[in-house]
Amino acid sequence: MKFLPTTLPEVVCIEPRLFADARGAFFESWEARKFAAAGIAVDFVQDNHSVSNRWVLRGLHYQQPAAQGKLVRVVAGEVFDVAVDIRRSSPSFGRWVGVTLSAANRRLLWVPPGFAHGFLALSDAAEVLYKCTEFYSPANEHVIAWNDPALGIEWPLPAGVAPALAARDADAPPLAAAVTFP
């Protein structure tokens, strides 16, 4: 596995090593010792599977308290995956990083606790799997506006195309009014 830095040091893009032959292919998407050696020593407690149509935007979601770290990968289709640092004490507070994840490139993204997460489906259908370090807690879930001008996220939406949003995502507050981390 290759652990590739992003513009936010805590957010890591992972490229698994593919073993392919005439029969097909194999790769490890998670191996605790390799991740720990790369500085990601976590215990996962829940796996989630999301299915989205093209231009569905999910996010920016997080839990506070009971913050979740997420290891995100795409098993069908393609998404633009985003992590936003929402730790007020961080020098990168309010900054974001976006990575294209797809079934074809097999990349994974580590989104640590203290970051909001969201993605935009770029293919006709996209299936996203993510491992979480904390259990889902509806009482602790929060959302930040996907289009907050203060964040300036460059979502790869074609001109004139509005994303399909859940009601809670459409009504989300900007970062300035959101619950954040210390």
Q: Are 88 and 182 in contact (CB under 8 A)?
A: yes
Q: What is the largest CA-CA distance in the chain?
A: 54
In the structure encoding, which two tokens stand for residue 29, read together? 């998407």
Q: Which residues are catalytic?
A: 61, 130
DSSP-derived letter for residue 177 is G
Residue 9 makes CB contacts below 8 A (sequence gap 6+) with: 92
Residues with Cβ within 8 Å of residue 139, at least 6 apart in sequence: none
